[in-house]
Amino acid sequence: MDDKTRSNETAKSEALDAHTENPDGSHLTTNHGVKVSHTDDSLKAGPRGPTLMEDFHFREKMTHFDHERIPERVVHARGSGAHGYFQPYESMEQFTRAGFLSDPSKKTPVFVRFSTVVGFRGSADTVRDVRGFATKFYTDEGIFDLVGNNMPVFFIQDGIKFPDLVHAIKPEPDNEMPQASAAHDTFWDFISLMPESAHMIMWVLSDRALPRSYRMMDGFGVHTFRWINAEGKARFIKWHWRSTLGNAALVWDETQKTAGKDPDFNRRDLWENIEMGNYPEYELCVQMIEEDQEHDFDFDILDPTKIWPESEVPLKKVGKMVLNRNPQNFFSETEQVAFHPGHVVPGIDFTNDPLLQGRLFSYIDTQLNRFGGANFNEVPINRPLADVHNNQRDGFMRQTINRGKVSYFPNSLGGGCPMTAGADAGGFEHYMEKVDGRKVRDRSEKFRDFFSQANMFWHSLADHEQDRLVSAAHFELGKVMTMEVRERMVYEFFNRIDHDLAVRVAKGIAVEPPEKDESTKSRYRAPEVSVEHESRKDTVATRKVAILADQGYDHKRLEKVKEKLMEGGASAEVVSMFLGTLKSTDGKEMEADKSHVTSASVMYDAVLVAGGKEAVRAMKSQGDAVGFVNETFRHAKTVGAIDHGVELVEEGEAKGAKYASADSDGVVADKGLVTVGQGGDIDEFADEFVKALARYRHWDRDPERKMVPA
């Protein structure tokens, strides 16, 4: 290297160094150099009061965060959308003025966007993550956006911490790794220092973070809102979406393999089922608390890290949403749809939930950044059905052609139009809540109970769900290289949730188990948090079955089972070694839908091995076919085999289980393994197979087999 080259490189390095920050030993400041005394709470009017606009530190921090990335969303970048309608079961007018909730005969158009939170647009669907569940209602009174998640709580209590949370969970900035994953040092370092995240972390480590389908996933508004009726009476409410199919989850091993075989797994499932007419349905429910009951609980009802246990505040069913149409253009609709929790209609209003208060600023700001201007509401997917008349003008992407010379209020040249509307004319009026308090950066005392609901969550899970939560912690924290962080999570976090949990987690991550029990016990139990809750439906509707077959299959007996599956609303795909036509023993033909290399057991809810001596002889020599059955069995899903198909089952994981022999005349159904011999009744077999499929998972298989690592 010559002296000139070396000199240029030195100059370049020095130029870069001049812009390189070294935060070691420094105080936190604003972008203008003012030292910050407190960055964990926004400025409020009293500990339970609303966030104040004069909080320049909050506004600067949030504005900068909202403008960090273009053009994709900073969070919820990877989404899937669908159109549909909402219809109430009965009028809610005694509780709210909202018109779309008052007429049971009226269908309100909706657009729903499901999403992962952490990953970029190109990441996989099946990562361990929170899922967004945002619904845009095109009501006669304007747009109402119910912007929620598939979990009813969140990581933080105050919106001012949102940039810190997302910076911590996103890929680490020095190397842009890992993608769409919380399993790294910066995230768990942040969490270990934020005890308010305890409850949410339990949800993220649970099966709820691995939904089988957007169609089999609940949604929650997270925050506490208000309903206000025509008389001005207000009630506190929480929003819930309940899938009519019930909840279903993948297991971790399935998610890893599915991400490789089909990273669009959830997106494809939603699209294909709508195309087939299997329209996803969700019931809208609310929990309601009277204003005079606000302080009757041992948790603060405004705390977004807490649920209202249904044993204390039951659900009320409001109506049903049906998604019945796919978008025509992904970018124009799914990508350009812009949600905002501040899009409300008369009869729905906010509370002083400090996370909601932050979102009311952040969402509008981030949409301004994404769209480059204020006219994103004129994009077709965002346009309200209600008429729009105001004095806002011009800007990027303006599509409205405004007539006349008046663009101000009050005016006389335009006849005073557009004029304001009072409540009698349908005008929105904010609820007159009394606000009185000192300006403080603080939070309600009840907000400081960080661990009791996390304890409640743990003890509300089934044993096998607890096993998988522990396994998830082993994976997540096993990827953390800093021992101090792992120890802090065990001693200062999990041990305050539940001692047994902390001991079990410690054993898997090389941390000395804690000796003293420091857990915070909860008097509540919330069985509704479990995926295995009694509300989960045993159904075969929209379940997808893989039929393993080859040349020389038994057509007649297979068709009997397929007919039974279709009666229940299930679908089936034929999987063979190669694509093409398969011929049966009696000369019938069927097409293979997928080949071994283009499919995998993890893409199906069950496997059925077709009979036929020649077909099974061929499949027994195919490692992929044997592995297909083994993997399905290990993941606790239903396995069926017809006559000689039993021999394929015998080759692997199910060895020693109960099943009929190929030449028997019986049907055996044992913990999701359903078999029939050559002389067995195929109709009886079909009934038993469908019954097993309806259960989906069979956790009661021999635990010593460790079907799913725990």
Q: Which residues are catalytic?
A: 76, 149
Task: Name, in order, each residue with C-beta under 8 angstroms of 8's C-beta and a sequence gap of 6 or more.
Answer: none
Angle at 698 between CA 250 and CA 611, to 5 degrees: 100
CA distance 306 to 293: 17
Alpha carbon 185 to its chain centroid, in Å, reads 23
CA distance 234 to 241: 22
CA distance 619 to 428: 67
Alpha carbon 416 to its chain centroid, in Å, reads 47
Helix (H, G, I), strand (E, B) or coil at 149: strand
CA distance 172 to 161: 18
| Backbone dihedral angles phi then psi of residue 4, each to the nearest 5 degrees | -65, -45
Question: Tokens 């915070």 map to which residue?
Answer: 520
CA distance 202 to 449: 15
CA neighbours closer than 13 Å in the CB half-sphere of residue 410: 1
* Bond before 23 cis per omega within 30 degrees: no
Burial label for 492, CB within 10 Å (0-12, 13-18, 19+), is: middle
Let me know: does 567 contact 539? Beta carbons within 8 Å: no
Comparing C-alpha atoms, which of 40, 36, 71, 70 is closest to residue 56? Answer: 36
Scanning 264-419, the segments in alpha helix (DSSP H) are 265-276, 354-371
Which residues pair with residue 290 across a beta bridge?
235
Output the CA torsion 500→505→509→514 (10° steps). Answer: -30
CA distance 215 to 478: 32
Task: Name, in order, each residue with C-beta under 8 angstroms of 270's C-beta and a sequence gap of 6 or more.
Answer: 80, 82, 114, 213, 214, 215, 280
Let me know: does 319 contact 283? Beta carbons within 8 Å: yes
| Total residues belonging to the chain | 710
